[in-house]
Amino acid sequence: MKKRNLIFILGLLILYGCVQEEFLLCPDGVTKVIDLENCPIQTPSCPESCDDGDACTLDTCSRTTGYACLHKEISPCDGNGVCEEGEFPWSEDCPQECNDGDACTEDYYNFQLGRCLSDPILPCCGDNLCSGGENFFSCALDCEQQLEIKVTEYEKRNRIPNVDIDLSDTDHTYLIVRFKIKNLGIDKPEILDYKQEQGFYYDPFKMRLEDETGRLYNVEYDSDLLRDWLDYTIIEKGRTTGASLLFIVPKVSEHTRLIAYDRQGGRLDHSEIY
């Protein structure tokens, strides 16, 4: 009887010792073991969410990040209160426009300075200054008319005397244009045949003809066969001179006009032909 009681008491002591033994929590936060080496092998993974609450960051987690959350700044980001490149002018972070009300300035938003800036446009038609590059043809608001041309007569032909080319069987025609050219106010010093004179330097090969499509036609070299042919000359201020030119144009061309240019290629005046 005593031996049986002793065995029972020893069993109770062993059971009590097992109950009192301390367990360790594995990294998975669930499994308890006596020895951490007995913890189950974990497969690395990202957290359920990497959202940092900032709409201007891109929150990611992957194997390449080591299963850690990364927060990359988004730029531009609409709503961060900063007007960034690519946002103007649609974002609420930017002003709706950069218009200073002056047609002679180019307005834009400077992202580095964070404000609107304006650069002058030169030349600018409408600033009451006839600046370089402007004339009456390009800007009647600022410049006075300096040259006037007026077509007085035109004629279409298939043949020209002393010219071998006959255009009868083609889609083109010879166009003879006779006109008056008046120097209203050009008084620049010009040199012709080594002599200096003041006035408008007339170059017959700087005259052009333009049709309704905007296409330009050059003067034909056979123009010198026409009566009233005017060669290189200087037309004094206040003087009116007659001249004639020869062009080859399509027979169906419409709204044709003669254009006078200066020596720099700027248009000075034009006159309708037909």
pLDDT at 176 (0 to 100): 98
Residues with Cβ within 8 Å of 221's Cβ and at least 6 positions away in sequence, in order, are none
- Residue 269's region, left for phi above 0, alpha for psi from -120 to 50, else beta, is beta
Residue 218 φ/ψ region, left for φ over 0, alpha for ψ in the -120 to 50 degree band, beta for the rest: beta
Q: What integer pLDDT is reported at residue 64 of this predicted model?
A: 87
pLDDT in tens, the chain (274 residues): 555 655 555 655 555 555 556 888 887 777 888 887 888 887 788 888 999 988 888 999 998 888 899 999 888 888 888 999 888 988 999 999 999 999 899 999 999 999 999 999 888 998 888 887 788 888 999 999 999 999 999 999 999 999 989 999 999 999 999 999 999 999 999 999 999 999 999 999 999 999 999 999 999 999 999 999 999 999 999 999 999 999 999 999 889 999 999 988 889 999 999 9
- Number of residues that make up the chain: 274
Q: Structural domain boundaries of the chain?
A: 45-74, 147-272
Specify the CATH number for 147-272; select among 2.60.40.1240, 3.40.50.300, 1.10.10.10, 3.90.1150.10.
2.60.40.1240
According to DSSP, the β-strands at 32-33 and 24-25 are: antiparallel
CB neighbour burial string for 77-112, b if at least 16 within 10 angstroms, e if fewer: beebeebbeebbeebebbeeebeeeeeebeeebebe
